[in-house]
Amino acid sequence: MGKRKAIKKLLKPTAPTPVYEYEDVAIEDLVVLSDDESSAPVQPTAPAASSSAPPPVASTGSATAGNGIATPSASESDADGLRDTIREKLGGKKSSKQRFAERQARKQQALLDSAPPQDPAWNAQLEKERQEEITVISDACGVLGREIHEIQPDGHCMYSAVADQLGLLGILAPQEADNPYTTRHAAAKYMREHKDDFLPFLPSVDGEDMPGATDDGIMNDAQFEEYCHRVEETGEWGGEPEIQALSRAFNVPIHVIQRGPPTVVSHGGSEDAFGGAMDAKASAAAGERIVRITYHRRMYGLGEHYNSLRPAKAT
């Protein structure tokens, strides 16, 4: 006996059964069972012949049209869900929407499964470091006469913070300072033109925390070009090598204020090929034509982040 006949046999209606049409699928006398295969069939309410009033709405959520055929009143998403359930019961293929939803659910569950268990001691340590970071950076801002200008927390944050600073210094036009791809393109261009200066400091195409970062040897030409492409055209985060490239490309020192130690990492000075250490007072003494950005490891729930330091407003 075919699947449709087997399902139809389960239902012996005492009143005409409505027809539901979804796209090109017509289902007559169909009972959709629950997951435990135990729910009873729902009988639609037939229109009363002796009354001129509209027939009542069935408990299934369907309304009866003037021609006596029930039409669903559920939302489009409810209809999609019913259609997917029907296809599954009849042994048909799942819709693309259903397959996508299931993939997303599996990915979400995998993330939950991979999360470390809650550890009160570890959480307390993170909060301690967060408070220390807030204090150190706030104190440095006081010495420098600066305040934090919040940058959008995304993969462009370092490039956006540097671009904002270059705009304040008049090195970039306002429209360029508002576009992180201005600094992305400049960093990638400089790195391509000075490949030998950067290859020893690039652990892998995907970054220092990714597979291959501890392998012996350096990137080949194809891997280096892929790295530069990601700097130039994607939303991947930037770090020390890109900061150094931007300092050289725009011929301006870049000071990164952080929890430390050290409190300030300088890029672009004569003695700091890839990061020189100093404190906030030394940074202030270096003058005003300096890009100053902050680096946060704990202050933001999304992880590492960069902000721009603008001159503090008079109070």
**Torsion sign across C-alpha atoms 184, 186, 192, 196:** negative
Q: What is the pLDDT of residue 26?
A: 44
- Among the options 156, 255, 267, 305, which is catalytic? 305
Our answer to whether residue 228 is catalytic in this structure is no
User: ∠ CA 65-69-74 to the nearest 5 degrees?
Assistant: 70
Q: What is the pLDDT of residue 108?
A: 73
CA 295 to chain centre: 20
Q: What is the pLDDT of residues 75-121, one digit of tens each?
A: 555 666 666 666 655 656 667 677 777 877 887 777 666 656 677 88
Cα–Cα distance between 196 and 193 in angstroms, integer?
9
Q: What is the DSSP letter of 39?
A: P
As a whole number, the mean pLDDT across the chain is 75
Q: What is the DSSP letter of 194?
A: T
- Among the options 157, 164, 228, 296, which is catalytic? 157
CA dist 9 → 5, 40, 90 (Å): 6, 13, 14
Answer for the pair 177, 221: CB distance below 8 angstroms, yes or no: no
Answer for the pair 174, 167: CB distance below 8 angstroms, yes or no: yes
Q: What is the pLDDT of residue 268?
A: 83
Residues in the chain where the model's pLDDT stays below 50: 17, 19-74, 207-214
For residue 29, count other CB atoms closer than 10 A to its CB: 18
Concatenate the DSSP letters of all residues of 70-88 into one string.
Answer: EEE-S-HHHHHHHHHHHHH
Question: CA nearest 245: which of 181, 302, 190?
Answer: 190
- Among the options 78, 119, 139, 154, which is catalytic? 154
CA dihedral defined by 181, 184, 189, 195, rounded to 10 degrees?
-160
For residue 218, give both structure tokens. 């350096």
Q: State whether residue 4 is helix, strand or coil.
A: helix
Our answer to whether residue 154 is catalytic in this structure is yes
Domains in the chain, CATH or no CATH each: 1-45+60-93 (no CATH), 122-180+238-311 (3.90.70)
Our answer to whether residue 178 is catalytic in this structure is no
Helix (H) / strand (E) element for 264: namely strand 264-267
Q: State whether residue 137 is helix, strand or coil.
A: helix
CA 107 to chain centre: 14
Cα–Cα distance between 49 and 55 in angstroms, integer?
10
Cα–Cα distance between 254 and 99 in angstroms, integer?
48
